[in-house]
Structure 1
Amino acid sequence: MSTPTTAVSSSTSAADQASETAAASAGVQVRMLTELPELDGVYHLYDSIWRPDPKNPPVTTELLRALTKAGNYVSGAYDGDELVGACVGFFSAPAEVAMHSHVAGVSTAARGRNVGFALKLHQRAWALQRGVTAISWTFDPLIRRNAYFNLVKLAAHPAEYLTNFYGGMHDSINNGDDTDRLLVRWDLDTPAVTTAATTHPTGLTIQSMPEATIALDRSPDGRPILNSSKPTSALVLVAVPSDIEGLRQTDPTAAKAWRAALREVLGGLLADGARVVGFDRAGWYVLELPARGLI
């Protein structure tokens, strides 16, 4: 019988291998960053991605320096000598044996190469080496590609809907919208996460669940449609727009309507005990209701 130490060692070795494979597939080298020029590079990379209000950058070089000095996680993905992605996280309360991943970003030029996946698998391997069993982070539940990446590709699971978590953020991505976020938890050594790290999960498709109730739909012109009827199935579908970031630029009123609708429907369902069990890449959260939620 394997001892706990042997089991942890085996798990860590497999995570290291998955991390190396993901980096090679993305054509990058992922490594920890500690030196000031490297950390300044992260600051400038994030500035180019978010283009924030100069008074409120995602991180500063000084903060990154302090985080690394305290033993926290700051990594960079390099394509040759060029920094094309970075990820920043810090430890949670000691009793939780967990981390919070605060921010991760990939340059526009490197998107579509799975650099973000390589960064997250590097973070997972690094955490497991230190006895950390879970990583949490937040993402905007209106951004379809992020929902698919977090819930399907990484197999993280939603823990809580957070209303206007950061307050107003005036950058090129949030454009002053309320910062509702979905808090997810990534249990690093579960079968689902281990499988996701080494395979290509496809996720659920709504075509396979014709009995599901649509709680939030999209109109032909792309606006949200709320269904006020009580669900008649244990499965509920919640839509998101095809491109909320573009919508914030072209139709801010519609973007705000989506924020309010998703807050009411997805936030309300989670608060009532529903559980997100999947995400269809076409833009649908799939939730399972508790037994009391049925007619």
Structure 2
Amino acid sequence: MGKIRVFGLALTILFFAVRLQIAYGLGGYRSSGGVLKRSWEAIALPGSDDESVRVERFIHHHRSLLGVPDNPDIEIVLQKTVSTNIGLRYVFEQRAYGLPVFESPLILIVSGDRVRTVFNELSTYPFSRQTPVVSSGEALNIAISNLDSKHLRADPEAALGYTSSGKLIYRLRLPGLNPPADWEIWVDAVSGAILRQVDRRIFADGSGRIFDPDPKTALEDNSLTDQGDSNAAIPEEAYTNVTLLDLNDPPVGGLYYLDGPFVSTSETNNRAAEPSPEFLYWREDDRFEEVMV
């Protein structure tokens, strides 16, 4: 019983410590609306001999901090794990009433008894159970009717789920034959309206400057401090240039944006936009955080 109480107290202290730091922009934390969105600081995992159990407990104990609605029908489900040179990457899918919430992942990099990196795109929307009015077959017909060419090179795929803003949709993937295309079309499962249509083939790769995973780990130097996002606080060697896959191409109005296959910064005010797909910023620039997404 004593161990349980100590663990509960430790969780409470951690919760308020992280809340305090993200509220004031301290340390390696980034937040939005009081929700932890990014972390490059080591966070202790709950105790267990099984790492996957510790990770599940971490999510369970920090649902509020991660912005997960207080609803037992909103689940965070492990999709896959990937080994990296800094730890094991856990990729989670958000589900609402048994259906996927598209493009709303939670990614944790875990090493030993610590979460080393948090990437949180979970939706905070208060989902409600919805019933489709449009069938998957009808949604497919709607999607195909919107294409110039109706010929497909393989069978289409349809998945029912929610957007991060709570709309019930069909995500349809249609491999076009002539001209070749890989269409992804979102059809509103209630109204039948087309909400998105993207050819996943027509994209360009760009470059971005990031921390991988964080300056302290990259340089093996725990003495580094944030200093209000000061460029001078972090040596250039802590940065890594990476390839940004599948950015919008052709550019919109002559500009490239950080719109990729998994994450978009379209909701960001004064979002990053460049005449070439090169997003090379230092940390003092607010656009650096967009690239880190």
TM-score of the two chains, using structure 2 as the length reference = 0.26
| Structure with a larger share of its residues in helix | 1
Larger CA Rg, structure 1 vs 2: 2
TM-score, normalised relative to structure 1 = 0.26
Normalized per residue, which structure has more strand? Answer: 2
